[in-house]
Structure 1
């Protein structure tokens, strides 16, 4: 069974708190639906561009944008096919997230097959793990400049059991914060290096999916990959952690994954902070004037009532805001005074609330949320 080892650092804890703060801002800031769609598309384009750029793809951002808008069966050069594949892989992950699909070996093989697909319009087949190399040929990750091996992965015969243990860990690990789980998964996948090619892109896509399943995707607005490209040397140094090139000489059981986790969480905190700032910038664009004056909790309350379209009980609101029922009673008096809600039942003792008259005509779109 896979048992990763790491220790929390002050910086790691600080950045985890920053991530939670940014998530909360993005969650409460209502952004007009058309702006939200554009931010999601731009983030997806950045993930596609920068994740393939890490592997040496030379297309610039505008060229990547043009390629993904072309017809699917259009002939392309390898660099174009590579970015189209990654775009399709991200689309695949989005569909699987909607269905709540969990990570399995079959899931990873399907994801990898989309990433390395060759030939426009062909249906990708499920990938298989790497096999033996020809006699005298070393399977390794080589330095582009020196030609020396940076990393020599485990023997192909060990890959199936390592992947089985890895997937079992993903399935059963429910206590670690999602950012740390995604960081560890990235490291372990790249360490196993289960496929002949496309491991880096698959690892980054897999990390994004782990975060997405745990609702750590800040509405799909973020791209960590652009930060990696700006610090490629740091990216590689931190994931290698100064360990020997040979898998069996220490990379199989590193004593402390903290250097890589700390780096991953730092990048994630920066990416999420950027999204939070964007959310603040666009939050008031096109928002109903009645909504602009509301406090964050009042906006959350409005969205909750609109989405359910029925009276809600004080107990439900206490669960929503994670506070005691006495606090909800106090807040409710202020909300009623502001016209946000009104009693839906009970004369002396209110047992449920509904939207106030001033807000009956509002929709989620008016609040800035896509319906």
Structure 2
């Protein structure tokens, strides 16, 4: 059975205290739905970008954004798979537990059409220096998830449990390819199950990329002979606290704008009108040629009626002639 050794230090307690303080702010602050959607999208883009970087794949944010909005012509298979897998976490998290089949399923989803089917969701058969032997991977993974679902793990703060899950999976390195993507998706799912993705506004993966040296030092501190996760938990919990701190500042700023928007009546918008505003926020403008991609099952006349409402409410403005019209935020 896997039983991790660690000490809850003052630094860890301080980090968790900040996390809980910021969590209360995020949970209890009301902002407009389109801004909620925007924060969730920013988190998803940050997740995909940083996970791809961990896989040594560098793709600009703009390309990721255009791909998940379904307006990119040449879609990267890696982005498409991560986008789909990220969206699936909502449903998977409802089970409230993680098991060995989940990590294999996520690897299969992430590697779809990128690896041969015989290697999708299949543990590695080759040896990797310093990592679990191939014949022991299944047993180590099962033991890890047995611990994660146990009372012992649940007696600890969810951020502590998630940090140990991340470190142990890095030690095992279960697959031949896409380990970073699969591990980070699994850890994000663990945080989501326990309610620590903060309305899906927060991901920790961007922190790894900004602190590569500290990340490697934290993982290296876990000795194979007598593993102690204390230093790693300090690193992970500090990263989570910093990520949530940044997000709660955004939320507080948007809350002020929400009060103004409610006073002006802007909050009484339809879902389609909110989506139009979100698109303009992302790309600077909306043109007639974008209608079909943004609303594939809605007529052009319906979109034009929504645009007219937004113009009348002084939220957007129209520029250009009829055929080359563009709509921008005022």
- TM-score range (shorter-chain normalised) is 0.7 to 0.9
- Tell me what 2:82 maps to: 86
Aligned-residue RMSD, C-alpha: 2.6
Please tell me whether residue 223 in structure 1 is matched to residue 203 in structure 2. yes
- Tell me what 1:251 maps to: 224
- Tell me what 2:245 maps to: 273
C-alpha distance after superposition, 1:30-76 (max 9, x if no partner): 0111110111011111111111112211211112222333389x865
- Tell me what 2:185 maps to: 205
Higher helix share: 2
- Tell me what 1:9 maps to: 9
TM-score, structure 2 normalization: 0.73
Partners of 2:170 and 2:252 lie apart in 1 by 36
Alpha-carbon shift at residue 102 of structure 1 (Å): 2.3
Partners of 1:189 and 1:176 lie apart in 2 by 18
C-alpha distance after superposition, 1:269-310 (max 9, x if no partner): 00011111111111132338999xxxxxxxxxxxxxxxxxxx
- Tell me what 2:130 maps to: 152
Alpha-carbon shift at residue 197 of structure 1 (Å): 1.5
> Which of 1 and 2 has greater Rg?
1
Please tell me whether residue 261 in structure 1 is matched to residue 233 in structure 2. yes
Alpha-carbon shift at residue 212 of structure 1 (Å): 1.0
Partners of 1:54 and 1:196 lie apart in 2 by 15
- Tell me what 1:301 maps to: none
Q: Aligned with 2:92: secondary structure? A: helix
Partners of 1:41 and 1:123 lie apart in 2 by 30
Relative to structure 1, the CA distance from residue 124 to residue 221 in structure 2 (aligned partners, 3 Å threshold; closer, same or farther) is farther
Q: How does 1:192-341 map to 2 (within 5 A)?
A: 192-241=172-221, 250-251=223-224, 253-254=226-227, 256-287=228-259
Partners of 1:119 and 1:186 lie apart in 2 by 24
- Tell me what 1:303 maps to: none
2:197–2:203 CA contact under 8 A, matched in 1: no
Partners of 2:199 and 2:135 lie apart in 1 by 40
Please tell me whether residue 129 in structure 1 is matched to residue 129 in structure 2. no
Q: How does 1:101-116 map to 2 (within 5 A)?
A: 101-116=96-111
Unaligned runs of 5+ in 2: 264-330
Unaligned runs of 5+ in 1: 134-138, 141-150, 244-249, 292-371
Please tell me whether residue 28 in structure 1 is matched to residue 28 in structure 2. yes
Partners of 2:158 and 2:39 lie apart in 1 by 23
Alpha-carbon shift at residue 100 of structure 1 (Å): 3.0
Partners of 1:119 and 1:71 lie apart in 2 by 22
Q: How many residues align?
A: 261
Alpha-carbon shift at residue 95 of structure 1 (Å): 2.3
- Tell me what 2:95 maps to: 100
